Chain A
Amino acid sequence: MPLYAVEDTVTTEQERLELFLTTRTEESFSLLCASLYSRLIRYFRARSCDQVTAEDLTQDVLFTLYRKAYTIRRPQLFQAWLYKVAHNALLQRLRSARRRIQTVSQSEVRTDAWESIPAQPAGGHDFEEAMAALNVEEREILLLRFADGLDYQEIAATLGIPVGTAKWRVFNSKLKLAAELRRGGRK
């Protein structure tokens, strides 16, 4: 099916996904990709990746989407599926970066710095410090909720946890962030 034939009628991401899952053509895949590029780039940029790394990882995610689309059993939870793949791609990149650094010099590098996904310094210095004080899980769940805009069901599916646990983690992470922000403000 030529791209121009569907471009005007298939407008939402969900429609594009369903078209791709049904037809599996290059055209329907291209159409779906067009609505995902910016979102994935922002996902990786929000987790402190530079533009080149963000583009590389976006390619990895979309390549996985093409190859593993048959594993999307619930299209309504596509966002969760996509973010899970993106999360795994980022972790794999961080692990391989850590391995590379370890082979260069074990003594000069603080490898624990690579265990965590660093926070984006966009909300001001105190905010950056407060986010950095959270652990990986706390920071990631706040990113999924507030940077990626996922609802709790999607967060739960992305992280493989119950919805109640997702809410509990967001609640605790927000309280911890507030405590860190107040501590920063008192300095």
Chain B
Amino acid sequence: MSCLKHGHSAERWIDFLDGRLDPHAADRMNKDIGECSHCRAIYEDLRLSRARLEEWNASLALDPGATEASEARMHRAIMARIRMSQAAAAGQAIAAGVRELRAILEPICGSATTEGAIQSAVRQCNAASIDQLQGSQWEPFVGRLGSTIDAICGAAVALWIREITRGIQWEAGT
């Protein structure tokens, strides 16, 4: 809807009502509103809506929003969700890391020795099982495993293990 004679755009009307038109353009709008019944009708409609919306907004502002208790409740719930998602991500990284270690060690050391070395490293990190290993335990786990592999397969293999787990260490630790 626009006055066909004066053709002020929607953008111009909005800027006029928000007081963002330059003085010359604003004077022209004021003149048209004063002289043209169609422009005046548009102006009055826009003013009516704006007044009622502002009145409504004032009533919305009375809504307390969040109380201290509800903020504390929401905060606890959000932090719990964040920690759960972090634990899940770390768990996935650890599981992938262990799979990768097994794939490398088994052809060199054999399945039984690999499994023994992994379980020994898990116990030395005070974890109940490989599935229970936390992100913060990954680095000590790799260190213990490296020492065991060093003793069984030699320093070269142990060094290789430490090199390839470097990327996994970072992921699991975050």
Query: Which chain A residues have a beta carbon within 8 Å of chain B's beta carbons?
Result: 26, 30, 33-34, 37-39, 41-42, 45-46, 51, 55, 58-59, 62-63, 66-67, 120, 122-123, 127, 130, 142, 145-147, 152, 164, 167-168, 170-175, 177-179, 181-182
Contacts and interface: CB of A to CB of B under 8 A. Distances in A.
A174 B11 contact: no
A26 B76 CA distance: 12
A74 B39 CA distance: 39
B74 A58 contact: yes
A155 to B, nearest CB: 11
A145 to B, nearest CB: 8
Given A34-B71, A123-B59, A147-B57, A59 B11 contact: no
B60 A172 contact: no
B108 interface: no
Interface of B: 1, 10-11, 13-15, 42, 44-46, 48-50, 52-57, 59-61, 63-66, 70-71, 73-75, 77-79, 81-82, 85
A164 B11 contact: yes
Contact of A38 (B13, B56, B65): B65
A122 B82 CA distance: 36
Nearest to B55: A123
A125 to B, nearest CB: 12
B80 to A, nearest CB: 10
Q: What does DSSP make chain A's interface, helix, strand, loop or mixed?
A: helix
Contact of A63 (B13, B54, B78): B78
B52 A127 contact: yes
Nearest to A169: B10
7 contacts: A26-B79, A33-B74, A58-B66, A172-B1, A172-B10, A175-B1, A175-B45
Nearest to A67: B85
B82 A37 contact: no
Contacts of B61: 42
Nearest to A52: B70
Contact of A177 (B11, B52, B57, B73): B52
A146 B55 CA distance: 10
Nearest to B47: A178
